[in-house]
Amino acid sequence: MIISEIYPEVGTCLDSDPAPDHSCGDKSTDEVSDRKPVATPPNPPKLKDRFLALDAFRGVTVLLMLLVNNMALDALAPHELVHADWNQGITLADYVFPWFLLCVGLSIPFSFRSFHKSSLPPWRMDLRILQRTVILFVLGCLVNHVIEPNLVLSLGVLQLIGMAYFVGAMVYELPWSRRLIIATLLMLSYALAILFLPIPGHPTGSFTEQANFFGAINRIYLAPYNIDGLFSAIPTASLIILGSLVTDVILSKKLQPLAELFFLVGVGGLLCAIGMSIEHWIPYNKPVWTPSYVLVAGGVGLEILACFYGLTKFAGLSKFTSPWVVLGSNPILAYVLPVFFKLCILAAWFVETPNGKIGVQQAALDTLVRDFGRISGGWAYTGIYIGFWWLVLLLMYRKRWFLRI
């Protein structure tokens, strides 16, 4: 199982002067420096097909995901680390999922470039896309099964990523103008459905938690089959297509590096501006994936990507990205393993305490709270848990172990 072409493997970079910590070669990092040189095969493949800033941006997204998913403060958690209430704006926690999707879109061109080097027939790429979608869907169902005891067909984080990826990858080789039109039409049609399609028992255009078009569709038609949220693949696929278009411009090398930086800033600003301009009619809303929310989240993500691009390309601070690249090198594992570990071990294993048997997770949290106080102890638990998984991912990174589909 792999994911390296949805999330390209760390090891090569787009920057012309990569940092030593991110070697652009395909040799093992354990290779001894005084080993006799090996003859280079004729016409070696180009190795500058890496966007180091993307690795770092993905790592920031993974860190934020671990932080949001493992807060131990309950009602005392900072507002920005809790998902916003219905139509109450966007918090930092709300950016995690759209940024994951944006990373998928930004990575698709690398996947296709790698495939074209293999000289395989086009249908093999279609088969790969389908295979990745199915594996993501099945893996997502297993994650849901760990959370809920019943193993059923359902939609969750990985399932939505798989569906949106399928759409974005299947249209990737269309001309860029057609892909832009498709992305625009997907987002526009979704917005028009919210505004103008009838809602049973409510006025058209209503957008409350109890009365909104896609909420009604989910409740009436999709929830009985555990596929509520299916239509969220429309705006998320649009975001993935937009991400692939951005990387295409960077990889085309038609712009000078400084122009590429301004391009990222400009596109990010444009998406934010469009999202904010329609927020009056279609509020920011993560449960429904409103276009205003998706566009603003995607735009902010591109601005962060631009910051990392500037740091690595112009400021010579590639080493600064190392901790983030470690986190971003195995994003699927970084999502799945902590969930499995927490629910299958920390919450399932029990220890004896003066108050009886309690789960290992609760025992650890209680100890930290007793020693450091409610808030400091909760932060200590979250920090230790994130630090532990960073070390696990660091070991995988150094061993060159990357989960692929």
pLDDT tens readout for residues 80-94: 999 999 999 999 999
Domain span at 126: 20-25+48-399
Does 229 reside within a domain?
Answer: yes
pLDDT at 10 over 60: no
Query: Across 104-118, 177-191, 244-258, which has the greatest mean pLDDT?
Result: 177-191
Classify residue 59: in a domain, yes or no: yes
Which of 23-37, 126-140, 333-347 is the most confident on average? 126-140
State yes or no: pLDDT of 288 exceeds 50. yes
What would the DSSP string read from start to end of 380-391? Answer: HHHHHHHHHHHH
d(CA 85, CA 283): 12
For residue 77, being part of any structural domain is answered with yes
pTM for the predicted model, two decimal places: 0.85
Whether pLDDT at 12 is above 50? no
Phi, psi (degrees; rounded to nearest 5) at 228:
-65, 140
Name the pLDDT band for 1 (thresholds 50, 70, 90). Answer: very low
19-56 residue pLDDT tens: 333 333 333 333 333 444 444 333 333 333 357 899 99
Q: Does residue 136 lie in a domain region? A: yes
Q: Answer whether residue 378 is part of any domain.
A: yes
The confidence score (pLDDT) of residue 51 equals 75
> Which pLDDT value is given to residue 63?
96
Tell me, yes or no, whether 41 lies in a domain: no
Tell me the average pLDDT across 101-130: 93
The pair of three-digit structure tokens given for residue 120, joined into one six-digit string: 């395989």
Domain tally, the chain: 1
Q: Residue 297: what pLDDT?
A: 98
Dihedrals φ, ψ of 109, to 5°? Answer: -60, -35
In a domain, 176, yes or no: yes
**Cα gap 292→271, rounded to integer Å:** 9
Give the model's confidence band at 344: pLDDT under 50 very low, under 70 low, under 90 confident, else very high: confident
Token duo for residue 315: 């400021």
Q: Give mean pLDDT, residues 350-370.
A: 87
Residue 149 has pLDDT above 80, yes or no: no
Alpha-carbon distance of 214 to 14, in angstroms, equals 41
Of the pLDDT bands very low, low, confident and very high (cuts 50, 70, 90), residue 387 is very high
Residue 3 lies in a domain: no
Mean pLDDT of the chain: 85
Encode pLDDT of 327-337 as tens digits. Answer: 988 999 999 99
What percent of the chain stands above pLDDT 90?
A: 66
pLDDT computed for residue 403 by the predictor: 81
Q: Are 76 and 48 in contact (CB under 8 A)?
A: no
For residues 343-366, average pLDDT: 86
d(CA 84, CA 82): 6
- What angle, 0 to 180 degrees and rounded to 10, lies between the N-to-C axes of helices 291-313 and 52-69? 130
Output the CA torsion sign for 73, 78, 81, 84.
Answer: positive
pLDDT at 152: 65
Q: What is the pLDDT of residues 54-67, one digit of tens each?
A: 999 999 999 999 99
What contacts 100, CB < 8 A, 6 or more positions away? 61, 65, 157, 161, 331
pLDDT at residue 151 in the model: 64
Question: What is the band of 404 on the pLDDT scale with cuts at 50, 70, 90?
Answer: confident
